[in-house]
Amino acid sequence: MKLPLFPLNAVLFPGCVLDLQIFEARYLDMISACMKRGEGFGVVCILDGEEVGEAAERFAAIGCEALIRDWQQRPNGLLGIRVEGARRFKVSRAEVQRDQLTTADIDWLDEVDECPLLPEHADLAALLSALAEHPMVAELGMGGLVTGQQALAYQLAYLLPFTAQQKLELLVLADPQQRLAHIQRLLDQLQGEMIA
């Protein structure tokens, strides 16, 4: 499967919402084509390079499909779009086109079925509820009550202030219980650093 890529200094997760301002011709054309076909594009995290200008030199091999949920012309004249993360994918081969748009051959990654939250997830679920109170999170319509491990893990991984590398480690994991355990370890690490 071929997918146009939008390399960003961010990691998108399934079920999570991202607002983007589009102004480069290659991405305006890509968004237009995606909307006409009713398809998404791939968001991959930049490892080396910039978001603007020439195509990023290196990006993560694992990314997330972005589906366009809303769009509007911004007062500054730029196109604003809101996307929602859908399926995870692995890039098998990428090429930069003449207009500097990167397209890739990708393979979709399997997702495990959603499992209900367990008692040991209560603290993490409470943390997500607390995050929902933040104006920026509320604006995205995220946080609050979730009933499944996958949704909890993806939203926490997306919203918490982890490094891009830590977020990529979380995106790669297939099992939501492993992802939640890894999030807990990262939070314990952060807490330890704050106390020290």
Work out the percent of the chain whose per-residue pLDDT is above 70.
97
How far apart CA 145 and CA 139 sit, in angstroms, is 16
Model pLDDT, residue 49: 74
**Cβ pair 42, 5 in contact under 8 A:** yes
* Selected residue with higher pLDDT from 109 and 56: 109
Torsion of CA 21, 16, 153, 190, to 10 degrees: 20
Model pLDDT, residue 196: 58
How far apart CA 5 and CA 63 sit, in angstroms, is 9
Is residue 82 classed exposed, middle or buried when 0-12, 13-18 and 19+ CB atoms within 10 A define those classes? middle
**Cβ pair 128, 144 in contact under 8 A:** yes
Asked whether residue 192 carries a pLDDT value surpassing 90, the answer given is: no
Chain segment 87-122, per-residue pLDDT in tens: 999 999 999 999 999 999 999 999 989 999 999 999
51-60, 77-86, 166-175: segment of lowest average pLDDT: 51-60
Chain segment 121-144, per-residue pLDDT in tens: 999 999 999 999 999 999 999 988
**Cβ pair 137, 143 in contact under 8 A:** yes
| Cα–Cα nearest to 52, from 23, 81, 12 | 23
Average pLDDT of the residues of the chain? 92
Asked whether residue 59 carries a pLDDT value surpassing 90, the answer given is: yes
